[in-house]
Structure 1
Amino acid sequence: MFSRIFGKPKEQTNALATLDKLNETLEMLEKKEKVLLKKAAAEVERAKEFTRAKNKRAAIQCLKRKRLYEQQIEQLGNFQLRIHDQMIMLKGAKTTTETVDALRTGAAAMKAMQKATNIDDVDKTMDEINEQTENMKQIQEALSAPIGIAADFDEDELEAELEELEGAELEEQLLQPATTAPVAPVHVPAGKQPARATPQKTTATTAEEDELAALQAEMAM
């Protein structure tokens, strides 16, 4: 698997070498084709010269050689077409091989991951976590439990004592004298002081004043 990731497989190396060889051959055929085209054009020019010189036989020989060159040019063209076709197919096969190789690598990685984390391992891990959680809970309960003299205290007696304290507190609050809360002063804006109400004399006060006035009159006589 690591050879697929970090190195080129032998098949891919051979494919690259084959593509390079085909490309070199294609360039060689193109060069030969150019040379033959020049030769064919030269034979045409020579045939024209022989025609102007009334040398028909020589002109025909030039045209025959031109035909031979053209046949070779056509053959080279077919070779180039086949090489192009093979290069296209080889590139497609290379792409397919790389794709399949990548998929195979991914599948192997997934398989390895699944093997490392199968359902049995997951269940075992969850059981260990639950066991550790339960153990920790028991340890905390053990640490929080009272020990020594505190363990001998009766919870019912402590609750009864607490109720007596609450009852005594309530009784003490009821026996305290009620205190009159001070009346908060009322703020009146300046210039709006309310008129003082005239105090009204009670009936008892009026009777005392009448008796005092009668005594003063008797003393004056």
Structure 2
Amino acid sequence: MLARFFGNPKQETNIVTTLDKLNETLDMLAKKENVLLKKVDAEEQRAKEFTKAKNKRAAIQCLKRKRLYEQQVEQLGNFQLRIHDQMMTLEGAKATTETVDALRTGAQTMKEMHKAMNIDDVDKTMDEINEQTENIKQIQEALSTPIGAAADFDEDELEAELEELEGAELEEQLLQPVTTAHAAPLLKEQLLRPVTTANAGPLHVPAGTQPARPAQRQNTAEEDEEDEEDELDALREDMAL
């Protein structure tokens, strides 16, 4: 129906030809209009001259011809207006035809695309993809399955054995005695620490009084140094062991 109304490509060519013809007609009418306008001016000038010459009859004849020319100019103007109107109609029809032709081309292209790819083909392609994916998964599972002697191992037994090893390692770390290298600094610190009252600060002795000291605590400074040297020698011997 649209093709019958707007025409085919051949008719579109006819529209272009018609528009060219109408443009030529407009040019021709415009030229005639210019000629008539010049005649109108000429008759008006002649009428003025006859009026000055007191030739009333000749002046009236010039005015009559002037009116005829003016009527023709008005008629040519109407012709040009109709041609302009028809040109606008044809140009609109041409634009509509081109639009419909573009839409028709798009619809035809979509139709061809749908023929090349229908829903059945899409479903078939997706089934093939899913089948190939499943085959690949089965191949990977087959390759990752242990074979030979490794296939006889019980995973639960291996897990239980690993837990036993971890428990034994932790127990061994907890029962491991303190090494001499770690004990030596502690022993040295204990030996060199001055003897003071447990958990108490220095004693404040009142003036004029002398606190009583046990006999074993009343050593001279030299004796204290000798005792410290002996303790250090004993510590060195222990560390050498």
Q: TM-score, normalised by structure 2?
A: 0.66
> Which amino acid in structure 2 is aligned with residue 18 of structure 1?
T
For 1:44 and 1:128, the matched residues in 2 are separated by: 95
Residue 52 of structure 1 aligns with which residue? 52
Deviation at 1:140, TM superposition (A): 0.7
Deviation at 1:94, TM superposition (A): 1.1
Question: Does residue 105 of structure 2 align to residue 105 of structure 1?
Answer: yes
Residue 199 of structure 1 aligns with which residue? 195
Give aligned pairs, total: 188
* Cα deviation code 1:148-171 (max 9, x no counterpart): 332233435434543443454344
Question: Does residue 135 of structure 2 align to residue 135 of structure 1?
Answer: yes
Q: TM-score, normalised by structure 1?
A: 0.71
Residue 37 of structure 1 aligns with which residue? 37
Structure 2 segments unaligned to the other structure (5+ residues):
1-7, 187-192, 199-212, 219-241
The 5 Å alignment of 1:25-104 reads 25-104=25-104
Deviation at 1:35, TM superposition (A): 0.4
> Which amino acid in structure 1 is aligned with residue 67 of structure 2?
R
Identify if the C-alpha distance between structure 1 residues 128 and 95 changes in structure 2 by more than 3 Å, giving closer, same or farther: same
RMSD: 3.0
> Which amino acid in structure 2 is aligned with residue 37 of structure 1?
L
For 2:48 and 2:173, the matched residues in 1 are separated by: 142
For 2:160 and 2:94, the matched residues in 1 are separated by: 91
* Cα deviation code 1:118-175 (max 9, x no counterpart): 3323322222222122111111101111123322334354345434434543443344
Residue 176 of structure 1 aligns with which residue? 176
Most deviating of 155-164 and 93-102: 155-164
Most deviating of 27-36 and 152-161: 152-161
Identify if the C-alpha distance between structure 1 residues 67 and 200 changes in structure 2 by more than 3 Å, giving closer, same or farther: closer
Residue 192 of structure 1 aligns with which residue? none
For 1:30 and 1:131, the matched residues in 2 are separated by: 79
For 1:110 and 1:104, the matched residues in 2 are separated by: 10
Residue 14 of structure 1 aligns with which residue? 14
Deviation at 1:207, TM superposition (A): 5.8
Residue 188 of structure 1 aligns with which residue? none
Identify if the C-alpha distance between structure 1 residues 58 and 150 changes in structure 2 by more than 3 Å, giving closer, same or farther: same
For 1:145 and 1:38, the matched residues in 2 are separated by: 109
What secondary structure, in the 3-state scheme, does the structure 1 residue paired with 2:214 have?
Answer: helix
What secondary structure, in the 3-state scheme, does the structure 1 residue paired with 2:151 have?
Answer: helix
For 2:216 and 2:71, the matched residues in 1 are separated by: 162
Most deviating of 145-154 and 130-139: 145-154
Percent identical among aligned pairs is 78
What secondary structure, in the 3-state scheme, does the structure 2 residue paired with 1:68 have?
Answer: helix
Deviation at 1:44, TM superposition (A): 1.5
> Which amino acid in structure 2 is aligned with residue 103 of structure 1?
L
For 1:20 and 1:88, the matched residues in 2 are separated by: 13
Deviation at 1:22, TM superposition (A): 0.7
Identify if the C-alpha distance between structure 1 residues 64 and 200 changes in structure 2 by more than 3 Å, giving closer, same or farther: closer
For 1:43 and 1:171, the matched residues in 2 are separated by: 136
For 1:18 and 1:108, the matched residues in 2 are separated by: 29
Deviation at 1:23, TM superposition (A): 0.9
For 2:150 and 2:173, the matched residues in 1 are separated by: 32
